[in-house]
Amino acid sequence: MIALHKSKLLEAAASLLYPSVCTVCGGSIRAGVYLCNQCEAKAVRILPPFCQKCSEPFEGSITSAFTCANCAHRTIHFDAAVAAYRGRGIVREIIHEFKYGRQMHLRHLVARWLRAALNDDRLRDLHFDVIVPVPLHPARQRERGFNQASLLAELLSAQTSSPARPFLERIRYTTTQTALDRSERMENLHNAFRLRKNADVRGLRVLLIDDVLTTGSTLSECARVLKRAGARAVHAATAARA
């Protein structure tokens, strides 16, 4: 009886926080979720085979662990970057709405996708001393009103025992990376980040957080700064991979 009563209360509480229809199609949904089953099914998980280092999916049948050509030909500073979903279709739309449409409530849905990345074999058994969001340049953050990675890091922190700390800052306002190829991205990002004053990461196992992984250049550059400052390990998790 008590349990039933409690679940009713939770349901009532959830209905205050969640919309009563599917965010995408307006169809009916269960309490406590944002998407109906049909829309949720359109979010595509990244499944093996994929690059052990950067999670780039590989179309084909490889059963052994492998690293993609892009990771083999450059220095990657993170230990592994795990993306949970393909960043296309519904996942792309939701993340776009969250970031650029100021639909901040969608952070809960994106954070749930991000949490799926933590279930990956490469991260599941690890303990992280600190969760660090990839920073935005202050000018861009002002323009957007928030840093999506910080919101996700805070939600993740609330559900794990690891504190979220904004240990990095972005000191170069880089042009959008979209039109750049891999080596241009690396060049564009060089010295774009630094450790915040008074941040001490010596000996820490860090989990870097961002919404989307594209080539991994941003995460790698952040990991480089953290490791140079003494971080013992730097793994990364994102909700999607572009």
Positions touching Zn ion (CB under 5 A) are 22, 24-25, 27, 36, 39, 51, 53-54, 56, 68, 71
Residue 220, number of CB atoms within 10 A of its CB: 24
* Smallest distance, Zn ion to C-beta of residue 41, A: 9
Q: Are 168 and 196 contacting, i.e. CB atoms less than 8 angstroms apart?
A: yes
* Smallest distance, Zn ion to C-beta of residue 27, A: 4
Nearer to Zn ion, 36 or 201 (CB): 36
**Cβ partners under 8 Å of residue 133, min gap 6:** 147, 149, 150, 152, 153, 164, 166, 168, 208, 209, 210
Order of all β-strands in the sheet with 205-213? 80-86, 233-241, 205-213, 130-133
Nearer to Zn ion, 78 or 167 (CB): 78
Nearer to Zn ion, 195 or 237 (CB): 237
* Smallest distance, Zn ion to C-beta of residue 210, A: 16
**Rounded Cα gap, residues 40 and 60, in angstroms:** 25
Nearer to Zn ion, 111 or 213 (CB): 213
Nearer to Zn ion, 27 or 163 (CB): 27
* Smallest distance, Zn ion to C-beta of residue 154, A: 27
**Cβ partners under 8 Å of residue 30, min gap 6:** none
* Smallest distance, Zn ion to C-beta of residue 139, A: 31
